[in-house]
């Protein structure tokens, strides 16, 4: 595989961009290689600047559920761009997309658009504090909610990929009001939430963790969390930046039958353009300025291009049986990979929720942060490089998920399975 042009570009990028990338995991350090520079994408494929083609299982980290450059989404963006790219003023499209979100997610009565998942979670936590008059945020070890100061405590995603325990630049006074507890541990959950001295404003959780790899909620975890927060007057926030409109049209909360007070969204609702949102009960949302005292603003919030792309994307997801078809393909691939691992004698764990999947290189079940970080990251790095050499583009981190899209065909998945078997056998040679 030729990577000369990508290599040259990376060296140029390092002179003008920290680390040569604009988001840390993209640097590919944890998998022992330099990043590829992508030129274009179509359907389930990426094409780099050297002309290599790859089957893509990153999907821009989730939003490309329909595949890349879907004609309906591209058409909507182009049409919107002809009228201008940003106004800093209300547009009709904001109402249309907000209405689609409210209709889709049963717990959301009102929604506010922002520009990223980090903005959504940061704003939701501020709102919860303003609404309750309390200070403490409870999160879960290994769950990543963006790079706002409050969340960089035992965070997942790039933080654990790079081996960073937290982050310099975050004052102790801020993280003092964040408590991180084990995911899926009901005993510690109840003891923490019932500790009145903590003055807990909210609990924020990925209903299906996607940033320590795919980790599913244990039976009764989400329902117990909902029951406790309701009794104790604590705002429950679901971070569905990854799972929203990915696991179902109504998100993970529809799949698990648990309704939070606030929901954070991103990724898919902008059709691949920069966007985020947070929404929930009208009583809480009405505390946001200008109706209430909790301030949050953004010049590009509700950007007309992102709104147009989001409307087009969500309408595509309304197709009958869309999620069932996506789940069937994902289940087929997960089953094939498990069969291959057993046949060749390699110990792995495959966690899957709908079209989210992680292949963990460990012999033990992965149910929380502690078990996730026992995975063999060196082995994953070798697997990543081997798959890349055969045209399969995976996430450059053991602690991320693979995203299956509607554009992936059974032939694509069969090729992926064949290359996985080749890679597994190579891993066992040493």
- Asked if residues 259 and 237 have their Cβ atoms less than 8 Å apart, the reply is no
pLDDT digits (tens, 9 = 90+) for 68-88: 999 999 999 999 999 999 999
**Which segments within 217-295 are labelled E, that is strand?**
235-239, 262-266, 276-280
**Is 48 among the catalytic positions?**
no
In the predicted model, what is the mean pLDDT of the chain? 94
pLDDT digits (tens, 9 = 90+) for 142-159: 999 988 877 776 554 555
Dist. CA 26–CA 387, nearest whole Å: 17
Retrieve residue 272's tokens: 């691949």
Tell me which of 144, 249, 323, 393 is the catalytic residue. 144
pLDDT digits (tens, 9 = 90+) for 18-28: 999 999 999 99
Torsion of CA 251, 252, 258, 261, to 10 degrees: -60
Please give the CATH architecture assigned to the domain spanning 4-69+321-428.
Alpha-Beta Complex (3.90)
What letter does residue 69 receive in the DSSP assignment? T
pLDDT recorded at residue 157: 52
Nearest alpha carbon to residue 105 among 308, 226, 265, 340: 265
pLDDT recorded at residue 173: 73
Spell out the domain ranges in the chain.
4-69+321-428, 71-317
pLDDT recorded at residue 155: 52
b or e along 287-297 (b: 16 or more beta carbons within 10 Å of the residue's beta carbon)? bbeeeeebebe
pLDDT digits (tens, 9 = 90+) for 88-112: 999 999 999 999 999 999 999 999 9
Give residue for tokens 């009208």: 282
Class of the CATH domain delimited by 71-317: alpha beta
**Is 339 among the catalytic positions?**
no
Tell me which of 110, 139, 154, 267 is the catalytic residue. 267
pLDDT recorded at residue 154: 56
pLDDT digits (tens, 9 = 90+) for 212-248: 999 999 999 999 999 999 999 999 999 999 999 999 9
Residues pairing with 356 in the sheet: 353, 403
Contacts 24+ apart (CB under 8 A), 146-149: 146/116, 146/117, 146/118, 146/119, 146/120, 146/121, 146/122, 146/241, 147/118, 148/118, 148/121, 148/122, 149/174, 149/175
pTM, rounded to two decimals: 0.94
Tell me which of 239, 261, 368, 412 is the catalytic residue. 239
Nearest alpha carbon to residue 372 among 138, 149, 59, 154: 154
**Is 267 among the catalytic positions?**
yes
Residues pairing with 55 in the sheet: 45, 392
């Amino acid at each position: 595989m030729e990577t000369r042009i990508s290599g040259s570009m990376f060296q140029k990028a390092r002179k003008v961009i920290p680390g040569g990338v604009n988001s840390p995991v993209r640097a590919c350090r944890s998998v022992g290689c330099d990043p590829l520079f992508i030129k274009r994408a179509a359907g389930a494929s990426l094409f780099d600047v050297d002309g290599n083609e790859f089957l893509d299982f990153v999907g821009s980290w989730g939003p490309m559920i329909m595949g890349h450059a879907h004609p309906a989404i591209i058409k909507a963006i182009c049409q919107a761009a002809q009228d201008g790219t940003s106004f800093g003023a209300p547009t009709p499209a904001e109402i249309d997309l907000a209405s689609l979100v409210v209709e889709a997610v049963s717990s959301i009565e009102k929604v506010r658009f922002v520009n990223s998942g980090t903005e959504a979670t940061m704003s939701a936590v501020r709102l919860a504090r303003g609404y309750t008059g309390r200070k403490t945020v409870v999160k879960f070890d290994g769950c990543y909610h963006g790079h706002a100061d409050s969340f960089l405590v035992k965070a997942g995603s790039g933080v654990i990929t790079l081996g960073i325990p937290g982050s310099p630049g975050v004052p102790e006074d801020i993280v003092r009001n964040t408590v991180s507890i084990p995911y899926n541990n009901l005993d510690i959950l109840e003891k923490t939430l019932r500790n009145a001295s903590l003055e807990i404003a909210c609990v924020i959780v990925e209903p299906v963790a996607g940033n320590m790899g795919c980790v599913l909620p244990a039976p009764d975890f989400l329902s117990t969390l909902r029951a406790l927060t309701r009794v104790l007057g604590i705002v429950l926030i679901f971070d569905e930046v990854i799972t929203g409109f990915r696991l179902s049209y109504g998100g993970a909360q529809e799949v698990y039958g648990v309704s939070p007070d606030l929901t954070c969204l991103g990724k898919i609702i902008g059709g691949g353009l920069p966007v985020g949102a947070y929404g929930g009960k009208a009583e809480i949302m009405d505390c946001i300025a200008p109706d209430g005292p909790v301030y949050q603003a953004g010049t590009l919030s509700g950007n007309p291009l992102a709104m147009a792309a989001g409307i087009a994307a969500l309408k595509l997801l309304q197709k009958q049986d869309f999620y069932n078809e996506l789940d069937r393909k994902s289940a087929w691939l997960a089953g094939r990979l498990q069969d291959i691992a057993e046949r060749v004698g390699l110990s792995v764990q495959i966690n899957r929720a709908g079209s989210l999947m992680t292949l963990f290189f460990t012999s033990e079940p992965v149910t929380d942060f502690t078990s996730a970080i026992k995975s063999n990251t060196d082995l994953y790095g070798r697997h990543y490089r081997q798959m890349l050499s055969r045209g399969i583009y995976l996430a450059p981190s053991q602690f991320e998920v693979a995203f299956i899209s509607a554009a992936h065909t059974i032939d694509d998945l069969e090729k992926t399975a064949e290359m996985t078997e080749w890679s597994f056998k190579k891993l066992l040679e040493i």
